[in-house]
Amino acid sequence: MKKLSLVLALVFALAGLGGISLAEEEPVTIEFMTTEFVNAALTNETLTIQALEEALNIHLELNISTASAEDYAEKFNLMLAGGDYPDIMLGTAELVNPYLDTGIFLELTEIMPERMPNVYEQVQAYGALKDITSDDGKLWFIPKLEGSVAMWEIDWINQDWLDELGLEIPTNTDELYEVLKAFKENKGEDCIPLIMGPWSDKLHNFYFAFNTWPTWRMFNEEDGMEYGPYDHAEEMRACLAYLNKLYTEGLLDNQYLTRDDDSINALISNNQAGYFYAWADDASRLIEGGTLGVNYSYVDPLEGPEGYSGWFGCNPVTNRYYINAHSEVLDKVIEMCDYIFSEEGRNLFTWGVDGVTYNVVDGEKQFVPEIMESSAGPLDGRRQFGINPVTFLHVSEWEGWLGVLPEYVTMIAANTADSVTPAQPVLAGTPEEETELANIMTDITKYVDSQLPLFVNGTLNTEGDFDAFIAQLEDMGILEAKEIKDAQFERWQNR
Residues 6+ apart with CB under 8 A from 69: 35
Note the pLDDT tens digit of each residue in 267-297.
999 999 999 988 777 887 888 988 789 999 9
Interior/surface letters 216-229, b for 16+ CB within 10 angstroms, e for the rest:
bbbbeeeebbbbbb
Closest CA to 490 of 224, 296, 251: 224
User: To which H or E segment does residue 1 belong?
Assistant: none
Please tell me the distance from the alpha carbon of residue 42 to that of residue 375, in angstroms, as a whole number. 18
Note the pLDDT tens digit of each residue in 204-219.
889 999 999 999 999 9
Closest CA to 88 of 370, 391, 342, 451: 391
Q: With contact defined as beta carbons under 8 Å apart, do 277 and 200 qualify?
A: yes
pTM of the model: 0.80
Q: Please list the residue range(s) of the chain that carry CATH number 3.40.190.10.
A: 5-149+315-415, 153-312+427-495
What is the homologous superfamily of the domain 153-312+427-495 according to CATH?
A: Periplasmic binding protein-like II (3.40.190.10)
Class of the domain covering 5-149+315-415: alpha beta
> Which segments of 184-228 are extended strands (E)?
192-194, 216-218, 225-227
Interior/surface letters 69-88, b for 16+ CB within 10 angstroms, e for the rest:
eeebeeebeebbeeeebbbb
Please tell me the distance from the alpha carbon of residue 344 to that of residue 358, in angstroms, as a whole number. 14
Calculated CA dihedral for residues 404, 405, 407, 412, nearest 10 degrees: -160
- The reported pLDDT for the residue numbered 23 is 47
- The reported pLDDT for the residue numbered 238 is 98
Q: For the chain, which residues score pLDDT lower than 50?
A: 1-6, 10, 12-23
